Amino acid sequence: MKRLIVFYSYTNNTRGIVDKIKNRYNYDTVEIKTKEEYSDDYDKVVASEEKLVPLDYQPDIEPLDIDFNQYDEIILCTPVWWYSVASPVNTFLHTYNLKGKTIIPIATNGGWLGRTFDNIANLTGANIKKSLSLQFDKGRLTNPYEFEDWLDHLEDDESKM
């Protein structure tokens, strides 16, 4: 069983989660990076993305030098942007063929998950399992124990569950 973490993070909540998963299980990890960096002005990004996300906006991203066939499962970690995946993750999902793959989606958010997991499933045609919504408040997980528990069981033998 080989797993790959693919993630995007704008204000580093998602990056912190990825670091914890990686520290524990040492999975290969790739970061989605936009060709043009987002502004440091958080409110400006929130306001412009409010218009762009409903238009299925796909900002240009750097190519990912990854052979997805090497991996059985992809742990996809994204912030929630306007009730869906962050726009750079939207580009990723449109660019790479993940049909029939298994995705474990993690969506960090402020409490409004919206259609995020359904959109990942519908866009990719992948099998979705162990999905995890993680709420943050001022850069901190609101329920860290939920995440620790999820992490503890990430490699449980599913045939015995």
Ligand X SMILES: Cc1cc2nc3c(=O)[nH]c(=O)nc-3n(C[C@H](O)[C@H](O)[C@H](O)COP(=O)(O)O)c2cc1C
- Binding residues for ligand X, per CB under 6 A? 9-15, 45-46, 49, 79-83, 108-112, 114, 136
Minimum CB separation from ligand X for residue 115, in Å?
A: 10
Q: Which helix (H) or strand (E) holds 107?
A: strand 102-109
Which lies closer to ligand X via its Cβ, residue 62 or residue 158? 62
Token duo for residue 140:
């901190």
Which lies closer to ligand X via its Cβ, residue 8 or residue 71? 8
Minimum CB separation from ligand X for residue 154, in Å?
A: 19
**What is the rounded distance in angstroms from the CA atom of residue 68 to the CA atom of residue 114?**
28
**What is the rounded distance in angstroms from the CA atom of residue 34 to the CA atom of residue 56?**
16
How far from 134 is each of 19, 80, 108, CA to CA, in Å?
Answer: 15, 10, 5
Written as one letter, the residue type at 157 is D
Minimum CB separation from ligand X for residue 148, in Å?
A: 17
Which lies closer to ligand X via its Cβ, residue 127 or residue 146? 146
Minimum CB separation from ligand X for residue 14, in Å?
A: 3
Do 85 and 107 contact (CB within 8 A), yes or no?
yes
Minimum CB separation from ligand X for residue 12, in Å?
A: 5
Which lies closer to ligand X via its Cβ, residue 13 or residue 90? 13
**What is the rounded distance in angstroms from the CA atom of residue 91 to the CA atom of residue 56?**
9
Which lies closer to ligand X via its Cβ, residue 81 or residue 92? 81
Do 17 and 134 contact (CB within 8 A), yes or no?
yes
Max CA pair span of the chain? 48
